[in-house]
Amino acid sequence: MTDREWMHKAEEVMANTYKRFPILIERGRGCTLWDAAGRTYTDFVAGIAVCNLGHAHPKVAQTLSRQAETLLHVSNLYYTRPQTALAAWLVEHSFADKVFFCNSGAEANEAAIKLARKYFQDRDAPDRCRIIAMEQSFHGRTMAALSATGQEKIRAGYHPLLPGFDFVPFDDLDALAAKMGPHTAGVLLEPVQGEGGVRVPAADYLRGVADLCRKNGSLLMLDEIQTGLGRTGALFAHQHTDVVPDIMTLAKALGNGLPIGAMLAGKKVAAAFGAGAHASTFGGTPLVTAAALTVVETMEADNVVANARRMGAYFKQALLRLQRRHPVIKDVRGLGLLLGMRIAADGDAVVKCMMDKGFLINCIQGSILRFVPPLIVTSEEIDALTAALDETLAEVS
C-alpha cells in the first residue's frame, strides 16, 4: 500500500482518539525522523518528552535484541536481574527507598494515589483521604488520574469522576494553605506544568508546598513524568531545590519509547504497600527494565543531563531573541529542554508550517508552542529550528 493508503486504513480500523498529521513515520536516528516518502524531519517533540536519547539509539537497540533472545517476561512472583538493577539505580539516584514498576505515567499516578490513601488507612485515619491537585494539571487518562487532572476539557464526558480530589491554582501557596486540612492525604503536582502550558512556578513555590505538607501532616507527591530524567537540566526537576518528596512518579523518558512507569517512595510511606496491596502483570518486565537500565546508564555516562542544561539555556536565549523580532510572541517560558512560547496567533498553523519546513513541534492550550527535543540535541539543530521558526512567524504575522 502507499503511505496515503496506510493512513486511510488507520482511520478505518483505529479508534479516532488522536488528531494525526498526514505523515507516515518509518524510521529515526538521533533527532531525525524519516517519513515513508523519504522526507526528513528534525524532531522537537521526541514522542512528547519521551525519546531523551533520540531515536534508534544503538545501545538501547543492542540491549533489546540481547534481552529478547534471553527472557521477555515472567510473573512478578519471581525475581529478575534487570528489574532489580533498574530499581537499585533509581533508589541510588533519588530520595527513594522503594520502587513500584508499571507501564505508563497514568498507572504510576494511580499507584501514587492508592499508596497515599493506603498509608493513612494503615494509620487508622480513613478520613484523611483527599488529594489536592492543581488547576491546569495533567496526570493521565485513567479514572483516578483523570479525576486528579485539573483541566475540564480533558475531564468532560467522563463524569461522575472519582471523589476525593480538590483543586487550587498552581503557584498559589495561599490558596493551597486555605484548602488543606485534616482530610488532606497528599498534594499532587508537577514541578513544571507541561500539558498545562509549560508553566514554571516561582522559585520558592515548591519549598512552600513542602512546608505546608509537613505542617499539615500530608504527603508531598510529585508527578515528574514529563519533567524527570533530565528534561529540565536536573535528573529530577525538584532537585533544582532542596525539596524531598514523599512520593514521585516517572514514565516517559525512562524507557526512551518503551512502555514503563515507576512510582518511587521513601521507606516509611512505601511500607503501606505490602504483598497483594497493588500489582501490575506487565510492570517491570525483563525486556523493558533491561532497556530502561541502559537508558539511564547511558544518560549518566554521556552527561546527557548536563547537555540538556546547556542546550536548554542556549535554546531559550535563541527564542528570546526571536521574541524581540516578532511582536506576535508574547512569552517565552520553561526550564532546561522543556520550553514553551506563547503566541498571539493560531498555534496549529505554526506547527503545520514548521512541519512543511521539516521540523516537528507541537502546540498546547491553543497558542503555546512546546519544544521538547531529545536531550542529545545540538546547537546546530537548535539554530536550524529557530531560523525556520523566524521565517514561519513572519509568514503567520
Q: Which positions are catalytic?
A: 138, 223, 252
Cβ within 8 Å of residue 333, ≥6 positions away? 197, 198, 199, 200, 339, 340, 341, 342
- Cα gap 233→220, rounded to integer Å: 22
- Cα gap 320→337, rounded to integer Å: 14
φ, ψ dihedrals at 288, nearest 5°: -70, -40
φ, ψ dihedrals at 86, nearest 5°: -65, -45
Side chain identity at 105, as an amino acid letter?
A: G
> Are 139 and 145 a contacting pair, CB within 8 Å?
yes
> Are 196 and 365 a contacting pair, CB within 8 Å?
yes
- Cα gap 73→103, rounded to integer Å: 13
- CA dihedral (66, 258, 16, 146) positive or negative: positive
Strand 247-250 relative to strand 261-265, pairing:
antiparallel
